[in-house]
Amino acid sequence: MQKHPVLERAERLMDPYLADLKAIVNIDSGTYNKAGVDDVGIYLQERFLSFGFSTTFDHQQNYGNNLVATHKGSATKGPRILLVGHMDTVFPDGEAQRRPFAISERNGMRIATGPGVLDMKSGVLIGLYGLHLLIEAQQAHYQSVTFLCNSDEEIGSPGSRQLIRELAYQSDAVIVLEAGRTKTTVVSSRRGCGKFRLEVRGVSAHAGVAPQDGRNAILELSYQVQALQALNGTIPGTSVSVGIIGGGERTNVVPDFAYCEMDVRASDEAGLHAIEAAIRKVASKTVLDGTSITLSTDIHFRPFERSPQNQPLVEMVQEAGRELGLKIEDVGSGGASDANSTSSLGIPTIDGLGAGGGLAHNPGEYVELDYLPERIALLSGLIRIMSSKSISS
């Protein structure tokens, strides 16, 4: 069967694509490495400018600067589209030197490895090159495309979340470029997630002379942890995982303080409210007299739910897939992304348009290279179809 012409053009872009991917993967850009994230942003800025975008930086003090690239299309009444991809990784400084970008073969397929190669430097470049195909072919029939490369997604986007919201409100639809699972999948839902912290106050005492005068906060915490962990799986679509505990300073002192922190996730708003209520019920009573509990909650991301507002984008990407001979399936994910933020605002959103691969957040993280051109062509086709149809359901 003859290849789709857009796919053929995407294949011809692989050499510069891989050169760009190597360059940014070999820059350490862990979230807290502001200089490294800024260097990735400066590199990407030059590529955007060479492809006809205008660019600005949203300067940050604690994290890397967010890069905003904009391209004005040919349709004054066309859609305003926002693309979002992050430049930060979860890896420590020195990781790029320890295991730089490399291309090898695994199970008969070509792969690329290196810190952040999948999550999500390859995805940012898929967006860049997919748009380049449209612009080069004079098919940029949208009103505008805004491309936000943010600097702190791996810790919940604290410094970029407000900017994401502002840009989303100015847009008709949002495409997030987190990794896809395979060449035939996109992401249409994600769990919401948050960090809950439970603190126990007790009474200190000499552990040898008068232990009976104390109220052991660690012992009370142990009861609380068991009750909290028992909630996991009791409400459909939710999970609770106690991941951090701490307390006490000396073995000869009955500890008067202990705490735990837990990861809480939910597939929909109803589940999120239900699991929070269940956690509060557990924390409302103590087992040991003389102890007290304080519970604090921080919802990083609201759930990104399958919904009528997002369904047109799913159908459009499936249409783009059919043009390439691909049957696209939309899947859900337990992990959150910036798509959670934009979808919760009521803005049509689709995610998972990035590269395929595996082992994200792991030293073995990899991208499958053989079908990268198809992912670039899929993104390009989606935006072209979005520009010719109504996005609203």
Tens digit of each residue's pLDDT (9 = 90 or more) over 27-85: 999 999 999 999 999 999 999 999 999 999 999 999 999 999 999 999 999 999 999 99
DSSP 322-370: HHTT---EEEEESS--HHHHHHHTT--EEB--S--EE-TTSTT-EEE-T
From CA 215, how far away is CA 258, in angstroms rounded? 11
What is the DSSP-derived secondary structure letter of residue 304? Answer: B
What is the sign, positive or negative, of the torsion defined by CA atoms of 374, 380, 382, 384? negative
Domain 197-301 has CATH 3.30.70.360: yes
Residues of the chain with CATH 3.30.70.360: 197-301
Three-state secondary-structure class, residue 381: helix
Residues of the chain with CATH 3.40.630.10: 5-191+304-386
* Residues 6 or more apart in contact with residue 276 via CB below 8 angstroms: 196, 264, 297
pTM of the model as a whole: 0.91
What is the sign, positive or negative, of the torsion defined by CA atoms of 193, 248, 90, 37? positive
Reported as a single tens digit per residue, the pLDDT across 223-233 is 999 999 999 99
Residue 1: its pLDDT value, please? 60
From CA 387, how far away is CA 167, in angstroms rounded? 18
Reported as a single tens digit per residue, the pLDDT across 158-207 is 999 999 999 999 999 999 999 988 899 999 999 999 999 999 999 999 99
**Confidence band for 3, pLDDT divided at 50, 70 and 90:** confident
The mean per-residue pLDDT over the stretch 119-137 comes to 97
The mean per-residue pLDDT over the stretch 327-344 comes to 95
Over 70: is that where the pLDDT of 392 sits? Answer: no
Over 60: is that where the pLDDT of 142 sits? Answer: yes
From CA 284, how far away is CA 294, in angstroms rounded? 9
DSSP 199-247: EEE-B-EETTT-GGG-B-HHHHHHHHHHHHHTTTTSSTTEEEEEEEEEE
From CA 193, how far away is CA 56, in angstroms rounded? 31
Judge residue 65's burial from the number of C-beta atoms within 10 Å of its C-beta, 0-12 exposed, 13-18 middle, 19 or more buried.
buried
* Residues 6 or more apart in contact with residue 306 via CB below 8 angstroms: 188, 189, 330, 332
Q: What percent of the chain has pLDDT over 70?
A: 99
Over 70: is that where the pLDDT of 270 sits? Answer: yes
Residue 192: half-sphere exposure toward Cβ, Cα within 13 Å = 25
Over 90: is that where the pLDDT of 105 sits? Answer: yes
Over 60: is that where the pLDDT of 282 sits? Answer: yes
The CATH superfamily holding the domain 5-191+304-386 is: Zn peptidases (3.40.630.10)
Mean pLDDT of all residues in the chain?
Answer: 96
Residue 393: its pLDDT value, please? 47
Over 90: is that where the pLDDT of 304 sits? Answer: yes
Residue 390: its pLDDT value, please? 74
Residue 2: its pLDDT value, please? 75
Reported as a single tens digit per residue, the pLDDT across 201-221 is 999 999 999 999 999 999 999
Q: Are 100 and 21 in contact (CB under 8 A)?
A: no
From CA 372, how far away is CA 374, in angstroms rounded? 5
**Confidence band for 308, pLDDT divided at 50, 70 and 90:** very high
